[in-house]
Structure 1
Amino acid sequence: MTLLLQVAGGTVFQSFPLGWDGMGARFNPVTPVRILDTRTTNTPTGVAGQVPDGGTLNLQITGANGIPVDATAVVMNVTAVLPTGAGFITVWPRGVTQPLSSNLNFVPGDVVPNLVTVGIGSNGQVSLYHQGGTNDLIADVVGYYSPVNGDYFTAVTPVRALDTRAGTGAALARVAQGGEVSLQITNANAVPANATGVVLNVTAVSPDAAGYVTVYPNGVTRPLASNLNFVPGDVVPNLVIVGIGTSGKVNLFNANGTIDLVADIVGYYTPDNTAKQFYPVTPVRALDTRNGTGGVSAPVGQGASIDLTVRGANGIPAGASAIVMNTTAVTPNAASYLTAWPTGVTRPLASNLNYVVGDIVPNLVQVGIGSNGKVSLFNNAGSVDLVADLTGYFA
C-alpha cells in the first residue's frame, strides 16, 4: 500500500511509496515521452547497446520524466527493434519474482510495439527481461496511475470510431505520408464532454511502406514517440491510451507511405469519482489454451468464442468492472482477428488482435467484465491458441 500523511482539510503533506498492493489509483495522461532507447545513451547505464539474450533492464519510473513518487503503475509503449532471434519481453514490478508472462513476442528482424500497463515496484522501478538473441528496446511513457490524483475509468462495449476504408470518423481515403487524422472523441460514441483521456485499439491496415503511427492529444506538439510500427502489407493493432486534446480530439500521424487506419473505443477517463480506479497486480497467466489454463484446452476454432472467468479467479475480486490483460494469439492456421468484449452483450464490430498464419501476436486488452464475471474472446477464421496474462483490474 501507499501511506499518505494528511493535514487539516485533506491536503496531502507527503507520500511514502511502500508498494502498491490493494491501493486503487487514477489515471494521469502525459504527452508521450521516450524514457528508454538502447540505440542511444537513453538507457539506465547511459551506454548504448542491444539487450543480450537473458538480459534484464531495471528502468526508473518514479521521480523521473515528470512521474511523481506516489505513482503506483505506469503505462508505456514498449517496442522491440530488429531482434536477432525469436523471443519475448516480460515487464513486471521490480522486486517481485519474475512472472510467467510475456508482453511482446517477436521473430528476427521485427519492429514490434505493445502497450504495457504494469505496477511500479521497489525503488520506483520496473524490470524488463529479454529472451531471444539480442535486441534494441524502446519505451515511451504515455501515463501513470496514482492514488493521490488523476481520473477514473469507464469501460464501454467496444465501438468503431474510425475506419478510413469506410469513411467512419474521417474521410474515405488512405492517410498520406506525413498526413494526420484528427479524430473527434468527446461528444461522440457515448464519450462525454468531460472526458480527459481515451482508450483506443488502433489498427494499421495494409501500409504500402514501412513506417509508424503516432497518436497524441490535439493541440500539442507531436511527440517523439510511436504507437504502431509496420512493414508493407501488415495489419497491426496496438492499444493506445492517450489524453484528449483541444476540441475534444486526438490526432493520428502517419510517417511513411499511405495507410488505412481503424480505431475502436473501449473506454475513457473522466474526473467522475463514481467511475473506477485501477488496481495493479503482479502479472499472472489466466488463460493458455495450449495447456488448459483458464478452463480451455484446445485451439479456438473458426467463428468460435470462449468465455474466460475473471471475477473470483487469480485474485480478481467480485467488485471488479474491467480488466487489463496482455492477450496473445499463438500460431494461427489462417489469417484472422480476435475480438474481446464483456460476456452477455452482443459481440461488437471491433477487433483487438489481427494475425496471419504462424504468427505469435500480442496486444494489450482493456475490457469491461460481463454481468456473469466473464469476458468473451472470438476468433473469426481458422483456429488459434490464445494466451492471456492479467496485469490489473478496475473497481
Structure 2
Amino acid sequence: MTVFRMLAVAGVTAATAATLLPGVAAAATAPPVPAGATFVPVTPKRLLDTREGHGPVGPEKFVSLDFKNLVPANASAVVFNLTGTNPTEATSVRATPTLTGDSSGSSNLNLAPGETRANLVTVALGQSEPWQGGVELVNHNGNVDLVADLAGYYVNDTSGSRFTAGTPQRVLDTRTQGGLVGPNGTITVDLSGVLPATATAVTFNLTGTDTTGSTVVTAWPHGTPQPTASNLNLEPGDTRPNLVTVAVGPDRKVDLNNHVGDVNLIVDVAGYYATDRGDPFFTVSPVRTMDSRTGPSFGPGESRALDLSPWLPASAKTVVYNLTATNPTSATFVTGYPAGTSVPNTSNLNLVAGQTAPNLAVTPLGAGGRLALRNNAGRVDLITDIAGYFGPAPTPCDGQSCLYAWGGNDYGQLGDGTTVTHGSRVVGQVAGIASVKQAASAMDAGYVLRADGTVWVVGRTGETNQHSPQPTQIRGLDGVGSIAAGWREGFAVRSDGSVWTWGDSLTATQVGGLSGITQVASGSRTHYALRSDGTVWAWGDGTNGALGTPAQSAPNPIQVPVPGRIVSIAGGSQSGYAVRDDGTVWAWGSNYDGELGVGSDQNVIVQPTQVSGLGSVTKLVAARSGAAYAIKSDGTLWSWGSAFLTGQDMPSGGPYEVRVPTRVPGLANVTDVAGGGWQYGLALTGDGAVWMWGSYSAGQVIAPGMSIKYTPTRVPGLDGARVTAVIGGGSQAYVLAN
C-alpha cells in the first residue's frame, strides 16, 4: 500500500487557509497590456486530500481548489503536484480554470485501476465568477482520490521570477554516485554549479528506479523543514519520472527524501527561475496539439517534429506541455527536445509495455516554433496538451493601424497571449500584429488583413487547431484585397477576383464558381458575393429564404434577383442585404424580428424587397441576431430588427421588434458601425468616440467601468487612440486605430 504523509482538508472546496502568499496586494487590478507573468515559488503546501473528509471524486464529477485566500488577486496561474490514488477504473483527470467551454479533450493525469501516480500541473486560474480564483479537478471514470500540493503561482507583474530553459542537464544519478537512498533517507542536491545566485526556484525531472517498496519522494528547499507533500509515487520495481518545480534558497540546494524501502534517484535540470534574467510566462487554457492515436504511432528510434506555430507566437521560446504516452508495445522511454538539435541523453517518460503515463514537460522550441519527440523502443502513441509558454512579450504595435480588443477570451480572441477571460480586462492591444488594413470577426475569432495582402487569425481556428492566442497567418493566401467573417469561418477576396475561405483549419481553399468578385459577406450558414458587374450571388443554406430564391440550399453560387446595380452587400443570420447605386437598400430572407425593415410582419420574405423609407445609404451592416444598421450620407445612424439591438430606449413591455428603419438616438456624424453577434452594436463617431449598446447578455463584452444599456454608451479606455473602424464579434469586440 502506498503511504502518504498528508494534511487533512475537509469539504468540497479546498485551500481555505486565510494566509495571503507573497506578491502584490489583494486589491483587484485589471490585467495589463500583455507582458507575461512571473513566478513566485512557495514551500510545498498541501491543498487537498480527498481521503480526508471529502471522499473520492466520482465519474464526471469535480472538486474545486479555491486559491482566492492563498494567492494575490493578480495571480494568473498556479503550479501544483497532482496525485491520484485508489482509482476504481481506468480514468483520466484534468485540471481546468472553468467548467464552461472545457472541451479540448486534454488531461493531466492518467490512472489504471488501483494505481497511484503524480504529475505536476500548470494551469490558469479562473478569472470570472463563479470560477474566479479557482481550479476545477474533473475525474472521468469510476472513483478516485486526489491530492494536490502547491509549488507556486504566476502573477501578472514583475514581482516574481522569470524562467530560463536549457538543454537538460543531469546533476544526480545515485546509480553511479552515492548509491541507493534508503528508508527515510534524505540526500542533498547541490545546484550551485548550474543555477545563478539570483535563482529562486528550479525545475527538474525527478526519476525513481530500482524501487524496493511502495514509497513517496519529496523535494524541498535545503535548510527548511520537510513539508507534508510529495512529488513522486513509486511501487516496487517501478521506474517513473515526474517534473518538479521547487524553491531554492541562497545556497541553491534541494533536499530529496525517500519514505520507504530503497530507491535510486536521477535529477535532470530543465531550467530555473531567477530575478535578473529569463522570460515571463503566458498561460493558455489546455489545448491538445497532437494525438498520434489518430495517425501513425511512433516507431522504434523515431523522432518527429511538431509545428506549434498555430498555437504559439513567434516570440515563444519554451513550451510547457503535458506529455502522455499510451499503447507502448515494449519498455521504452520518450524524450522531448528542440527540433533541429541533437537528442539529449535524458528522458521525460519511462514506460513498460501496455502502460499509459503522463508527465509535464518544459522544453525549448527549435527553429520555426517546433518541438521534437523521440521514442526509444517499440511502438507508442504520444499525446501533447499545451499549458503555456515562456518568451518575451510580443512586440507592441507602435506604428499605424493597430488592432485593439476587449471582452471574452475563451479561445484567445483578444490576442493577449492567453486564453483567459478577465472580468476586469480593459481595452488592450492585439499583440504581434501591425499595418492592419481591415479586420473582421467571427463568433470566437478575429480575422486581420494586413497591408501586405496576408490574412491572420486570432482566437478559434477550427477543429484542427482549436485556437490561437496570438495572430497566426492563414496559409495559402496572399494578394488579398478584402475579408469578411461568417459564423465560424472567414472569407477573402483576392486581387484577381477569386474568393477563398477557411474555418476548420489554417489553410484557405478557393470557393468554386466565382470570378470578378469585389466583396463577400456572410450570415450564419449563407454566404454572398458581389461581382464587378453589380450582381449578387449566394451559396449555402437557403432556410427562410436566405438565398433570395425558393431554393433550400445551394452548394454552388446562384444569382440573387436583386434589381438594379448593387454597390455593397451584407449578411444577417438568415437574411441578405444589398445597397443599390441609388442609395436604396434591398433585403430578403428571415423577418421574424423585423430585420428586413420592410414594415411587414411576415416571418419570411423570399423576394428581395426595398427597405422602407431608407435612402442615401453609405454603409450597411447586419448583426447575426435579427438586426441591421445603416449610415446615411448625413452621418445619421438607422437601425431595425430586434429591439434589444437597435439602440432604441425600449419600453419594458415591448414591442420587441422594430420593423422599419428608425434613427439611433444620441448619435451624429457616425463614420462606422458594426453588429456584434446576438448581443450588441458598435458605432464610431467623427470625434473618435466608440459607442456600444445591446442586450444584457452582452455583459462579458463591456469594458470595466461600463454598463450595458439599450441606448448607446461610450466605451472607455480608448482616449488618445485614433479609432478608424469598429468590428463586432461574438463575446469580443475590436477597434482599428492609429
Q: Do these two structures clear the TM 0.5 threshold for a shared fold by scoring above it?
A: yes
Counterpart CA distance in 1 for 2:78 and 2:68 is: 9
Residues 91-122 of structure 1: CA distance to partner in whole angstroms, max 9, x if unpaired? 11125422310000001111110000000013
Q: Residue 320 of structure 1 aligns with which residue?
A: 316
Instruction: Calculate the TM-score normalised by the size of structure 2.
Output: 0.48
1:211 matched to 2:215: yes
| 3-state SS of paired residue (2:199) | coil
Equivalent residues of 1:21, 1:281 under 8 A apart:
no
Instruction: Say if 1:175 and 1:322 are closer, same or farther in 2 by CA, change over 3 A.
Output: same
* Structure 2 counterparts to residues 324-335 of structure 1, below 5 A: 324-335=320-331
Q: Residue 24 of structure 1 aligns with which residue?
A: 36
Counterpart CA distance in 2 for 1:258 and 1:20 is: 50
Q: Residue 186 of structure 2 aligns with which residue?
A: 180
Counterpart CA distance in 2 for 1:195 and 1:344 is: 29
Counterpart CA distance in 1 for 2:188 and 2:203 is: 16
Q: Residue 138 of structure 1 aligns with which residue?
A: 147
Q: Residue 277 of structure 1 aligns with which residue?
A: 280
The residue identity in structure 2 corresponding to 1:235 is T
Higher relative CO (Cα under 8 Å, sequence separation at least 6) belongs to 1
Q: What displacement does 1:244 show?
A: 1.1
| 3-state SS of paired residue (1:113) | strand
Instruction: Say if 1:13 and 1:137 are closer, same or farther in 2 by CA, change over 3 A.
Output: closer
Counterpart CA distance in 1 for 2:247 and 2:366 is: 26
1:56 matched to 2:58: no
The residue identity in structure 1 corresponding to 2:64 is N
The residue identity in structure 2 corresponding to 1:125 is G
* Structure 2 counterparts to residues 1-395 of structure 1, below 5 A: 15-16=27-28, 22=34, 24-41=36-53, 48-64=54-70, 67-94=71-98, 96-98=100-102, 99-121=104-126, 122-148=131-157, 149-167=159-177, 171=178, 173-186=179-192, 188-189=193-194, 191-272=195-276, 274-291=277-294, 297-310=295-308, 312-314=309-311, 316-395=312-391
Gaps of 5+ in 2: 1-22, 392-738
Fraction of identical pairs, as percent: 41
Name whichever of 343-352 and 252-261 sits farther off. 343-352
Q: What displacement does 1:345 show?
A: 2.2
The residue identity in structure 2 corresponding to 1:244 is V
Instruction: Say if 1:270 and 1:68 are closer, same or farther in 2 by CA, change over 3 A.
Output: same
Equivalent residues of 1:21, 1:280 under 8 A apart:
no
Q: Residue 3 of structure 1 aligns with which residue?
A: none
Residues 267-319 of structure 1: CA distance to partner in whole angstroms, max 9, x if unpaired? 001002x420011101000111111xxxxx21111111111112x212x1000
Residues 132-177 of structure 1: CA distance to partner in whole angstroms, max 9, x if unpaired? 211111000010001232000001011111111122xxx2x10011
Equivalent residues of 1:323, 1:392 under 8 A apart:
yes
Equivalent residues of 1:62, 1:71 under 8 A apart:
no
Instruction: Calculate the TM-score normalised by the size of structure 1.
Output: 0.89
| 3-state SS of paired residue (2:75) | coil
Equivalent residues of 1:162, 1:262 under 8 A apart:
yes
| 3-state SS of paired residue (1:160) | strand
Gaps of 5+ in 1: 1-10, 42-47, 292-296
Residues 174-199 of structure 1: CA distance to partner in whole angstroms, max 9, x if unpaired? 0011111200112x24x222211110
CA radius of gyration, larger in: 2
Instruction: Say if 1:60 and 1:219 are closer, same or farther in 2 by CA, change over 3 A.
Output: same
The residue identity in structure 2 corresponding to 1:289 is S
The residue identity in structure 2 corresponding to 1:102 is S
The residue identity in structure 2 corresponding to 1:34 is R
Q: How much is the aligned-residue C-alpha RMSD, in angstroms?
A: 1.7
| 3-state SS of paired residue (1:242) | strand
Counterpart CA distance in 2 for 1:279 and 1:237 is: 25
Equivalent residues of 1:155, 1:367 under 8 A apart:
yes
Q: What displacement does 1:246 show?
A: 4.8
Counterpart CA distance in 2 for 1:391 and 1:266 is: 16
| Count, aligned residues | 363
